[in-house]
Structure 1
Amino acid sequence: MKRILGSARRYPIVVATVLVGLLGLALWWGGAPDTVRWLFSGFGFVVAVIEFTGMVRRLRNGSVGLDLLAIIAIMATIAVGEYVATLIIVLMLSGGAALEDYAAGRATRELNALLTRAPQLAHRLSGDDADVSDVPVTEVAVNDLLLVRPAEIVPVDGALQSAEASFDESSLTGESLPVERRTGDSVLSGSINGQTAIIVRATATAADSQFQRIIALVEEAANSKAPVVRLADRYAVPFTLLSLGLAGLAWALSGDPVRFAEVLVVATPCPLLLAAPVAFLGGMSRAARNGIIVKGAGVLETLARARTVVFDKTGTLTQGTPVIAEVRAEPGFDENEMLALAASAEQYSSHVLAASVVNEARERHLALTAADTASEVATHGVTAEFGPREVVVGKLAFVREHAPDAALARLRGGELAMYVAVGGRFAGSLVARDLVRDNASHTVARLAELGVKESLMLTGDARETAEHIAGQVGITRVQADCLPSDKVDAVRALTARPVIMVGDGVNDAPVLAVADVGIAMGARGSTAASESADVVILLDDVSRTARAVTIGQDTVRVALQSIWLGIALSVILMIVAAFGLIPATIGALSQEVVDLITILNALRAIGGRADAAARVHATVPTEGATGEAV
C-alpha cells in the first residue's frame, strides 16, 4: 500500500489518467458515450494546459522543448473528436517519466547496489572478555577491534587480526573471484567476509574508508548529466517543424482535418526525450560493474571521442615497486652474506628501494641482524654498525666516502644500482628493476585500435629509463625529468584532443585535473588523485583504461542509435498516417510501442552480454602474473 501511495504522489497525472479511463469505461457501459467524450476531452485540455505551462518554464531556463508536439496533438484530437486518442496521448506523455524512472532503475542497478549496501552497524569488541556491542558505523574509531561475522560486509577499512580470511570484493573491483588475506593484511570496507567470523582492527573511520569514498563518487556520477543527452534539444526544432509540415500537408491534400491529428499523434517525441538519459545511466552502471567509477555521464561522451592518451610511468605502466634483479658481490664477499648485511642496514631506511632489499633477503630466507647503531642520510643512503663492522648502502658517491674503491656498476636500460661497503671495503652492488605491467603494451595497442592513436609518457625519471619502458609498451613520445608543473604544461600543449591522462600518485593530481579526462588507477592509492580524476579505476589494472574507453564508445553509440531509431520509426508512422492508413487511436498505441522499442534499445548500454563475451575471449594475463623486467 505504501508503494502504491508513493507512486500516486510521484506520478499524479498518470494515476489521474488511469482513473479517468476507468470512469469513462464505466460510463460507456452505462450508455453515456457523450459524457465520456466530454470527460476525456476536458481532462485532456487540463493536462495540455499544465504541460504548456511547464514547457514555457523550461524555455525560460534555456531548454528547447519537444512537448509542443504532444500538446498540439492533444488539442487536435480534441478538436476532431478523437477523444480516446486524446486519453492515450495524455497517458503516453505523463507516463514517460514513469517509464524513464523504471528504465533508469534497471540501468543503474550496479550503481544502486553500491549505495544500498553501505553498512550501518559495526560489532565492536571491548573489555578483557571481548564483549560485543553493536554501534553505528559512524562511531567506529581508529584501532577499534571489530567482529565481522560470516557473509557480513566489512564496515570500515581495517587490518586483519585473524589468521586468515577470504573476501568477496566484486562490488568494489569487479573481480568475481574471492581474495585471500592473512594476519596484518589490509581489508577494504564494502568487501564481504567469507564463511568464518573474523576480527579486524579499524585503520580508518567510516568517513575516511574506501567504501564511503566510492559511494561519494557514485552519488556524484548519478546526479550528472551528459552533453549528448541534450541531443534531443538539438533535434527538437527540426523534428517539430517536420512533424507540423507533414501534418499540415496531409490536411491540405486530403481536405480532412482528422489527418492533421492522425499525423501528430504518431509524432510525439518520447523516444527523443528518454533514449539518451537511459543509455548513459546504463553506461555508468556497466562501468561500475567493471570496477570503474565514472564521475559524470559527460565523461563517457568525452572518453568516446578521446584521441590522445598520456601515461605516468611509475605505478601506472610499471608495477611501481622495484625488485632486486641481481646481486653482484665483489671477490672476497659471499653473495648472500652481502645481501643479508645490506638488508640488515636497509631495515632502518624509509626509502622505497630499502623495502626491495629487505624483501629479497626474506625471499632467500636470510636472517637479518639488529644494528648497534644506524643513521640515514636522506636520498643518499644508510650507515649501520654491526659490532666492529660498518655497513654502508646507498648511492655510489655516498658509498665512496666510506670505500674509495667502489666502482660504477654497468647497467642496462631501466636498471639502477645500490652500492654496498662493508668494513671500509667495496662489497658489491644490488641491481634493481621496476617491472612493466603485463598488460601495459596490450592496453596501449588496444587504445590505438579504439582511435586513441596518440600516446605520450610523462615521468620524473631519467630519459634513458623512460625511453626503455616506452619502447617496451609501444609509446612513441616521451617527456622525462618532469616536475608536476611540467606535466601540466605538457598536457595543456597537446593538440589532438580530447586527452586522457592516466596516473596514480599524489603528484599526478594536478595533471589529472587539467586533462579532458583524468583517470586515477587504484582507489586504494592517493585520495588526492582520486578526487582530481574524472574516472577512478578501483583495481590496480591499467587495462581498465581501454575498457573505460570501450564503454564510453558503446554508450554513445547506443544512445545515438536509440535516438535515430525513435526518429525513424516516428517518421515512418507519420508518412503512413498522412495517407489516412492509421486511425488516431491506433496511432497513439503505435507510438507507445515505439517508446518501448527505443527504451529497450537504450538499455543495451548496460552491456551485460558484451562484458561476458569479453571475459570469455580475454587472452591477456591480468595483474598478478609475472611482469616483464625493465
Structure 2
Amino acid sequence: MIVRFPLVASTVLAGACVAVLLFSGQPAAAQGAASAYSLAVAALRTVSMVRGLLRGRWGIDLLAVTAIASTVAVGEYIASLIVVLMLTGGEALESFAQGRASRELRSLLDRSPRTAHLERSGTTVEEVSVGEVRIGDVLLVKPSEIVPVDGELLTEEGVFDESALTGESLPVEHRKGATLLSGSINGENAVRLRATATAAESQYSQIVALVKEAAASRAPTVRLADRYAVPFTLLAFVLAGTAWFLSQDPNRFAQVLVVATPCPLLIAAPVAFLAGTSRAAHAGIIIKNAGTLEQLARVRTAVFDKTGTLTHGRPTLHDIRLEGVAPGVTPDRLLQLAASAEQYSSHVLAASVIDAARSRGLQLLPATDAREHATDGVTATCGTHTVVVGKPAFVQKVTSGFGRTELAGGQLSIYVGVDGEFAGTLIMSDPMRENAVDTLALLRRLGIEQTMLLTGDTSATAAHIAAEAGISHVLAECLPAGKVTAVAALRTRPVMMVGDGVNDAPVLAAADVGVAMGAKGATAASESADVVIMLDDLSKTATAVAIGQRTIRIARTSIWTGILLSIVLMLAASYGYVPAVAGALLQELVDLATILNALRALGDGRPGRQVRTGRTLPSPAYGEGTGKQVPQNRSS
C-alpha cells in the first residue's frame, strides 16, 4: 500500500527541485528529474493497480498511470508532475476523510476480568490470573467486582448488575444454584461461586470474540469514485486514441489524457465526505469513515436496542395508587413516607423513589428504627408513622387490607404500608424517550422500509415498547449471539443497528452500520460502532441518516460536474486547442469547481424538521412487573 501523505510531500519537493533546475538554466536536468520521479510514482501506482485487479477491484489507476507515462513520453514533464501532485493529493485527502477508525476493542479488553479470588482448602483465598481458573474451582467475588468466569452461585442469594450482558438497567437477584455469567458486576455483598467454565469459554470472552469476528467478516465498501471509473476510462481512451489516429500526432493522445486525469473522481467524493463528517461532528455525531456515509445514505432497515436506546434506562415514578385502607393518606403523603423510609435503603430503586419525592417538593422526614430486610424491603418509623416499603409478599405479612396492583406492560410496583394498614402502590417505569416516536417517523420518511426492536428484555415488555413506538418487528430475550444472528438474517439491507453498552458491541459490529448512542468515552459500543453519537439523543440517528444522504447527493453531483467539464476539455484537446501544460492547469479549475460544490456538504445536513418532543411512555418489566428480568431482591 502506498503511503499517501509522504508522497504528497515528496511530490511538492520534487516540483521545487525541478523549478530550481529550470531557473538555474538546466532544463535537461529538470526534465530528467521530473520524468524519473513521475515514472517512479507511475510504477508504484501500477503495482497497486495490479493488486487491485487481482482482488477484483476496477479502479481509476489505469487512466492516471497512462496520463503520467504519455506526458513523460512526449516531453511534457511539467504536466506529468502536475498530474502526479493531483493524483497523490486526491488520495491523501481521501485517506484523511475516511478517518481509518481503530477497531482494536480497547474498552472491551480493558474491562475483561483479569484476576479471580480462588479459595484454597476452604480457608484461604488467593488472587490468581483469571486464565488459571479451572472448572470446579470455588471463587470469592467481592462487592462491586466483575464476575470473572461463568459459574454456579454457592451463596444463598446475590444481586448482580447484568447490564453489560443483557442491556437491562436494574440489578437482578440470583438464588443459590443459579448460573452467573462473566462480565456481570456483583452487588454490595461478597458471594461465592463454583466455576462452570474457563475464562476463554465464558460469556464475556464470547462477546469479545463475536465483536472481532463480526467486524472482520463485513464486506468492504466499494469507493464511490470507482463506480464511475470504468466508463470514464473507456471514454477517455477512445477520445485520446481517436485524436491521435486522426491527427497522427502523439501529443494529442497525451493532451487528451491530461485533461481526462480523474482528479474530479479522486477529489470530489473525499471532499464531500470530509465536509459531511465535519458537519456531523458539529451535531455531536462521529462518523468514522467514508464507507459509513455511503451506507447511511442507503440504509433500509433500522434495528434498535430497548433499554438506554429507545428508553432512558432509568426508572421513574409513573403513578401513585391509593388502594389500601390507611386513613388520611394522600398520594403525596404516601410518596413522602415511602421516600423517607427509603433513605436508609441501599436498593437501586430507593434513589428513584427519593428523587420522585424531591421533584414534587416533598420534604423527607427523619426516620428512626430503620431496618432493611435483605431482598424484601425496608421498615422505619417516620415521624409518628410506622412505614413498610417493599415486595408484595413482605408488605402483605405486616399489613391488613392488602391487595395486588394490576400493571401495564413494562411497569413495576412498590408496595407501601402505613401503621399496619396497606396504603397503596408506587408504579415505576422506564419511560420511553420523548422523541422516540417522531424519530422513527422521520426515519421512515428518509426511506427506512423496516424497523425492528432487538432486546434482551421479555417479550411482553418488548411488544409494549414496539407498539408504542410504531416498530414493526420485535425479537425479545436475546443474548449478544442471538442479536448477531438476527441481524445477519435480515434481508432488507443495508441494516443500521442502534444500541449502547457492551452487550450491543457484537451486533453493532455485525450490522452494515452500527450506531452507538450516548457514548461519552471509549466504550465497547463506540469501539465496535461505525457511528458514535456523543449526545444521549435518539433523534441524532435520523440526523446521521439525513447527513449521509445529503453528502452522497452532493458527492455524486460534484463527480458528474467534474466528468462533464472533463469531457468538454477532452473534446477541445482532441482538436489540438489545449496543450498539455495548459490542460493540466485547466484540470485544476475543474478540480476547484468540484471541490467548491463538494464543500456544500458542510451546510446544515439535519432533517427538514426538528424531531418534536413526544409522549412519555411507560416501558420495561422490572420488579413485581411483567418480565423475567425481575430483580428478585425486592420490588422497592
- TM-score, normalising length from structure 1? 0.68
Are residue 20 (structure 1) and residue 18 (structure 2) matched?
Answer: yes
Alignment partner of 1:584 is 2:580: yes
Indicate how the Cα distance of structure 1 residues 478 and 405 shifts in structure 2: closer, same or farther if over 3 A, else same. farther
**Partner-residue secondary structure (3-state), 1:405:** coil
**8 Å CA contact retained: 1:317, 1:542:** yes
Counterpart contact for 2:370–2:381, Cα < 8 Å: yes
Runs (5+) with no aligned partner, structure 1:
1-6, 28-34, 112-224
Alignment map for 1:118-517 (pairs within 5 Å): 230-233=223-226, 235-329=228-322, 330-331=324-325, 332-335=327-330, 336-362=332-358, 363-378=360-375, 380-384=376-380, 391-403=387-399, 405-517=401-513
How many angstroms apart in 1 are the aligned matches of 2:72 and 2:502? 64
Distance 1:549 1:294 in 2: 11
Contact 1:313/1:459 (8 A) holds in 2: yes
Query: In the aligned structure 1, how far is the partner of 2:231 from the partner of 2:599?
Result: 26
Paired with 1:492 and 1:71, the residues of 2 have a C-alpha distance of: 40
Partner of 2:45: 55
Alpha-carbon distance in 2 for matches of 1:327, 1:543 = 31
| Greater RCO (CA < 8 Å, at least 6 residues apart) | 2
Q: Is the 8 A contact 1:403 1:424 kept in 2?
A: yes
Q: TM-score, normalised by structure 2?
A: 0.68
Q: Determine the structure 2 residue equivalent to 1:94.
A: 85
Aligned mates of 2:8, 2:34 — CA distance in 1: 20
Distance 1:568 1:427 in 2: 78
Kept in 2, the 8 Å contact 1:51–1:67? The answer is no
Q: Which amino acid aligns with 1:20?
A: V
Shift of 1:592: 1.8
Deviates more, 1:231-240 or 1:301-310: 231-240
Structure 1: how far apart are the matches of 2:340 and 2:512?
47
AA at the equivalent of 2:445:
E
Change in 2 beyond 3 A, CA 1:371/1:560: farther
Separation (CA, whole Å) in 1 of partners of 2:254 and 2:562: 20
> Aligned partners of 1:557, 1:228: CA distance in 2, in Å?
17
Deviations 1:91-133 (A, max 9, x none): 232254356667988x799x9xxxxxxxxxxxxxxxxxxxxxx
Q: Cα distance, 1:300 vs. partner?
A: 2.2
Report the alpha carbon displacement of residue 562 of structure 1 after superposing the two structures with TM.
Answer: 3.0
Report the 3-state secondary structure (helix = DSSP H, G, I; strand = E; otherwise coil) of the residue aligned with 1:435.
Answer: coil
Are 1:226 and 1:299, in contact at CA under 8 Å, matched by a contact in 2?
no
Instruction: State the alpha-carbon separation in 1 of the partners of residues 423 and 344 from structure 2.
Output: 19
Instruction: Name which of 36, 41, 46 aligns with 1:46.
Output: 36
Question: Helix, strand or coil: the match of 1:319?
Answer: coil
Q: 1:102 to 1:250 in 2, by over 3 A?
A: closer
Residues 575, 541 of structure 1: alpha-carbon distance in 2 compared, 3 angstrom cutoff: same
CA 1:444 to 1:75, structure 2 compared with 1: closer, same or farther past 3 Å?
closer
Inter-CA distance 538–592: structure 2 relative to 1 (3 Å threshold): same
Counting matched residue pairs gives 490
Q: Percent identity?
A: 52
Q: CA shift at 1:317, angstroms? A: 1.9
* Structure 1 residue 266: Cα displacement: 1.2
Deviation at 1:384, TM superposition (A): 4.4
Shift of 1:445: 0.9
Provide closer, same or farther for how the CA distance between residues 350 and 528 of structure 1 changes in structure 2, counting only shifts above 3 A: farther
Q: What CA RMSD, in Å, does the superposition of the two structures yield over aligned residues?
A: 3.6
Check whether the contact 2:409–2:460 (CA below 8 A) recurs between aligned residues.
yes
SS, match of residue 535 in structure 2: coil
Q: Residues 14 and 34 of structure 2 are in contact (CA less than 8 Å); yes or no, is this contact kept in structure 1?
A: no
CA spacing shift, 1:513–1:259, aligned 2, 3 Å: closer
CA gap of 1:550–1:395, structure 2 versus 1, over 3 A, is: same
Q: AA paired with 1:367? A: L
Q: 1:459·1:480 contact (CA, 8 Å) conserved in 2?
A: yes
Matched letter for residue 45 of structure 1: S
For the residues of structure 2 that align with 1:408 and 1:458, how far apart are their CA atoms? Answer: 31
Mapped to 2, the partners of 1:525 and 1:46 lie a distance apart of: 48
Structure 1 residue 468 displacement after superposition? 3.7
Q: Which residue of 2 aligns with 1:608?
A: 603
Distance 1:510 1:286 in 2: 28
Q: Measure how far apart 1:448 and its partner are.
A: 0.8
Contact 2:414 2:427 in 1 (8 A): yes
Corresponding residue SS for 2:401: coil
Quote how far apart the aligned CAs of 1:257 are: 3.0
Write the distance in 2 (CA, Å) between the matches of 1:43 and 1:67.
Answer: 23
* Distance change (3 Å), C-alpha of 1:313 and 1:95: closer
DSSP 3-state at the match of 2:372: strand
Aligned partners of 2:489 and 2:7: how far apart in 1?
53
Q: Which runs of 5+ in 2 are unaligned?
A: 102-217, 620-636
The question of whether the paired residues in 2 share the 8 Å contact of 1:324 and 1:360 is answered with yes
